[in-house]
Chain A
Amino acid sequence: MKVLVAVKRVVDYNVKVRVKADQSGVETANVKMSMNPFDEIANEQAIRLREAGIAEEVVAVSMGGAKCQETLRTALAMGADRAIHVLSESELQPLAVAKSLAKIVEREQPGIVLLGKQAIDDDSNQTGQMLAALLGWAQGTFVSKLKIEGGTATISREVDEGLESLEIALPAVLTVDLRLNEPRYASLPNIMKAKKKTIDQMTPEELGVDVAPRLHYLKVEEPPKRQGGVKVPDVPALIEKLKSEAGVI
């Protein structure tokens, strides 16, 4: 079985993002970029499936500008076998990404597609579900445990109430949550090896997908700033403040 992993290049999770002065978006020039942390977990899981003998090949896919190649090199250095870069310099939204990934799935015929449950830039939490819908496949979202036997995946999902388990038919799309695994660091020899691995490049046009944005981001603003308050010296002063300010006790 082949496993396809979708990885997104996003502003690094440690960066405090700044809204552009003209309110057209968030500053991304000269800002540290990394692989979306959830996608790292997805990639790690794909590699573990290969190491466990369940998958034969791990193919990483990324969509976006030329620099997505760096993100794909990271995926390859972690252990993915080869990569596909869908090159597009325009804004890419979840539905367009899902349509493009569906075309790649048609070509590659993986048994499982793994993605992060959401990207930490637009926080949409849509792409995996949309991809599953377009393929007519089962979906397992927010996966924190995964067991594959025969043509079935048994998953544990992190839901608001606790944990939910499902049995889903393969092929399937799985979106991963934080606690599925802890991604490995790429070793130096593996980083060197990754440079020799193949990255195929194609465009949305070649895939026959219209990626024009369907949602129009009219304005991006700073949220209202919350002001820090006072520090109190001890518990009685804290209780006093609780009574006077919060009014809930």
Chain B
Amino acid sequence: MTILVLAQHDNTVLDKATLHAVTAARAIGGDIHLLVAGQGAAAVAEAAAAVEGIAKVIHVDAEIYANPVAEDLADLLVAMAADYDYFLAAATTFGKNVMPRLAALIDSAQLSDIVEVLGPDTFKRFIYAGNAIATVRSDDKKRVITVRTTTFEATADTGGSAEITTIAAVDPKGLAKFVGREVSGGDRPDLTSARIVVSGGRGLGSGENFAIVEALADSLGAAVGASRAAVDAGYVPNDYQVGQTGKVVAPDLYVAVGISGAIQHLAGMKESKVIIAINKDEDAPIFQVADVGLVGDLFKIVPELTSKL
């Protein structure tokens, strides 16, 4: 069996999400190849070759892959499809965008967001915002899979010495054109891979008040997240959102500030090792999943906590 993992990167650095997808590939078993499609991304190809357990890195260098659109990447994957039994990518917005397009083009029923590999054809995945776990078998000859990064440890990014081969790009059809990207965040750790996450919800009341969440996060060296309510209210940008339709995180410590704990938020953070909740409503559902809860006024508690840490 041969598995192709689609690498996610910015032409400079191999995204850590890919290392989690590689772990799922290793659980399936077989020769694992990593596809690095980019422009001037030789450093990424070299980083990919150093990942433990990779047999081969396939590097495609072309202008169209500098900021690739799903249409062009799916066509590239289809051109390579004859050689592979599995196609994996991390279930990031990148993987979610590309993989179903590939799946339809090769007539394969995709398995989205798997959380466990039970065998070569059988997997577990969450449904209903994590309120149920399904065991799913695919009999398709070629399987297309996206991988929930939080349930597979990252494979080591050193120790491997895969050969790097290059192949040609597939001519683009010109259906879509990348225009630009607005990246928010700044110097804080990445939300999906941070050891500590501090998230704020509607209880903050405004974007300005979110500063107390950010101050707490900075004192802990944590990433900042938010509930959907806080994003919808415009307190913070969309990429802060943790939940069923935002990011899924599983840090060592998750601090929920002024978050009630709607089902769809819990879906994105309940695998965290330790959950702390600070909320003025003692009946808030967040306390049903929190290891430690503190009921009270977050505008007093959070600054006090920040100053005493």
Q: What residues make up the interface of A, taking CB atoms closer than 8 Å to B?
A: 11, 13, 16-17, 19, 26, 38, 93-95, 98, 117-118, 120-134, 136-142, 144, 154, 157-169, 172, 177-179, 214-223, 226, 228-239, 241-242, 245-249
Q: How far is the CB of B37 from chain A (nearest CB, A)?
A: 17
A130 and B128: CB pair below 8 A?
Answer: no
A95 and B110: CB pair below 8 A?
Answer: yes
B305 and A238: CB pair below 8 A?
Answer: yes
Q: Mark B181-198, 1 if CB is under 8 A from A, else 0.
A: 111110000001001100
Closest to B273 in A: A246
- B103 interfacial by beta-carbon distance below 8 Å: yes
A239 and B137: CB pair below 8 A?
Answer: no
In whole angstroms, how far apart are the Cα atoms of A219 and B122 in the complex?
Answer: 11
In whole angstroms, how far apart are the Cα atoms of A172 and B71 in the complex?
Answer: 12
Which single member of B102, B132, B252, B275 contacts A26 (CB below 8 Å)? B132
List residues of B (170-215) whose CB comes within 8 Å of A's CBs: 173-185, 192, 195-196
Contact stretch, chosen from B47-55, B58-66, B237-245: B237-245
- B292 interfacial by beta-carbon distance below 8 Å: yes
Task: Give the size of the chain B interface in residues (CB under 8 angstroms).
Answer: 90
A11 and B175: CB pair below 8 A?
Answer: no
Q: How far is the CB of A191 from chain B (nearest CB, A)?
A: 26
* Closest A-B pairs by Cβ, 4 of them: A214-B109, A129-B100, A130-B104, A138-B175
Residues on the A chain within 8 Å of B129, using CB: 120, 123
Which single member of B100, B138, B177, B309 contacts A125 (CB below 8 Å)? B100
Residues on the B chain within 8 Å of A94, using CB: 100, 109-110
- Given A13-B264, A144-B238, A238-B292, are A167 and B93 neighbors across the interface (CB < 8 Å)? no
A163 and B182: CB pair below 8 A?
Answer: yes
Which single member of B139, B253, B275 contacts A214 (CB below 8 Å)? B139
Report the number of A-B residue pairs with Cβ-Cβ less than 8 Å. 262
Residues on the B chain within 8 Å of A26, using CB: 127-128, 131-132
- B56 interfacial by beta-carbon distance below 8 Å: no
B294 and A126: CB pair below 8 A?
Answer: no
Q: Mark B108-127, 1 if CB is under 8 A from A, else 0.
A: 11111100000000100011
B292 and A142: CB pair below 8 A?
Answer: no
A162 and B237: CB pair below 8 A?
Answer: yes
B181 and A163: CB pair below 8 A?
Answer: yes
- B101 interfacial by beta-carbon distance below 8 Å: yes
A95 and B239: CB pair below 8 A?
Answer: no
- B289 interfacial by beta-carbon distance below 8 Å: yes
In whole angstroms, how far apart are the Cα atoms of A249 and B180 in the complex?
Answer: 39
- B136 interfacial by beta-carbon distance below 8 Å: yes
Which single member of B98, B134, B177, B270 contacts A217 (CB below 8 Å)? B134
In whole angstroms, how far apart are the Cα atoms of A130 and B97 in the complex?
Answer: 10
A232 and B292: CB pair below 8 A?
Answer: yes
B131 and A16: CB pair below 8 A?
Answer: yes
- Given A134-B104, A214-B140, are A162 and B174 neighbors across the interface (CB < 8 Å)? no
Closest to A38 in B: B245
B228 and A178: CB pair below 8 A?
Answer: yes
Residues on the A chain within 8 Å of B304, using CB: 235
A160 and B192: CB pair below 8 A?
Answer: yes
- B288 interfacial by beta-carbon distance below 8 Å: yes
- Given A223-B133, A238-B294, are A17 and B195 neighbors across the interface (CB < 8 Å)? no
Q: How far is the CB of B129 from chain A (nearest CB, A)?
A: 7
14 A-B residue pairs with CB within 8 Å: A26-B128, A122-B127, A123-B113, A123-B129, A133-B104, A162-B181, A162-B237, A229-B292, A231-B294, A232-B294, A239-B308, A242-B253, A242-B274, A248-B252
Which single member of A38, A219, A233 contacts B134 (CB below 8 Å)? A219
A164 and B176: CB pair below 8 A?
Answer: no
A178 and B132: CB pair below 8 A?
Answer: no
Residues on the A chain within 8 Å of B113, using CB: 123, 125
A217 and B244: CB pair below 8 A?
Answer: no
Residues on the B chain within 8 Å of A137, using CB: 175
Residues on the B chain within 8 Å of A154, using CB: 179
B97 and A141: CB pair below 8 A?
Answer: yes
In whole angstroms, how far apart are the Cα atoms of A74 and B209 in the complex?
Answer: 39
- B25 interfacial by beta-carbon distance below 8 Å: no
Q: A158-B239, A178-B228, A219-B135 are in contact. List 9 more A-B contacts (CB 8 A).
A: A26-B132, A38-B245, A95-B103, A129-B98, A133-B100, A217-B134, A228-B293, A246-B253, A248-B195
- Given A17-B131, A141-B70, are A235 and B104 neighbors across the interface (CB < 8 Å)? no
